[in-house]
Amino acid sequence: MKWIGILFALMALVIGLVPQFTNCSAQGRAIQLPDGRSMPMKCHWTANATPVIAAPLLVAGILLFFSRGQEARRGLSLLGSILGFAAILLPTWLIGVCANDEMVCRLAMEPTLIFSGTVSAAAGLFGLFLARKNPAGNVD
Partner 1 sequence: MDVYRFALRNISGNPFRCLVVVLCAGITAGMLLASTLILLGAGQSLSKAIHRLGADIIVVPESAAAQVESALLLGHATNAWMPAAAVGQAAVVPGVQAVSYQIHLATLKNASCCTVSNMFLMVYDPETDFVVTSWLEKNLGTGLGLGEAVGGSNVFTPAGEKNIKVYGYPITLRGNMEPTGTGLDSSLFLTLETALEIARESVIRAEAPLVIPEGSISTIMIKVRPEYDIGSVARQVAARIPAVKALAAPEMFQSQRAELEGLRNGVILLLVITTGFSLVLVGLVFSMALNERRRELGVVRAIGAPRSFVFRTLLVEAGFLGFQGGAAGSAITILALILFRRLIIATYGIPFLTPSLPMMMILIAGSLTGSLSGVLLAALIPAYRISHEDPTIAMRE
Judged by the rule CB under 8 A, the positions of this chain that interact with partner 1 are: 2-3, 99-102, 106-108, 111, 114-115, 118-119, 138, 140
Nearer to partner 1, 56 or 92 (CB): 92
CB 137 within 8 A of CB 68: yes
Decide: 48 and 97 in contact? Cβ < 8 Å. Answer: no
Q: Given the complex with partner 1, which of 2 and 68 has the nearer CB atom?
A: 2
Q: What are phi and psi of 31, to 5 degrees?
A: -80, 125
Continuous H helices in the chain: 2-21, 42-66, 70-89, 104, 110-133
Least distance in angstroms from the C-beta of 2 to partner 1: 7
Q: Do residues 135 and 74 lie in contact, with contact meaning Cβ atoms separated by under 8 Å? A: no
Q: How far is the CB of 111 from partner 1 (least distance, A)?
A: 4
Question: Which lies closer to partner 1 via its Cβ, residue 56 or residue 64?
Answer: 64
Between 30 and 55, CB nearer to partner 1? 30
**C-alpha to C-alpha distance for 80 and 28, rounded to whole angstroms:** 33
CB of residue 59 to partner 1, shortest distance in Å: 23
Q: How far is the CB of 121 from partner 1 (least distance, A)?
A: 12
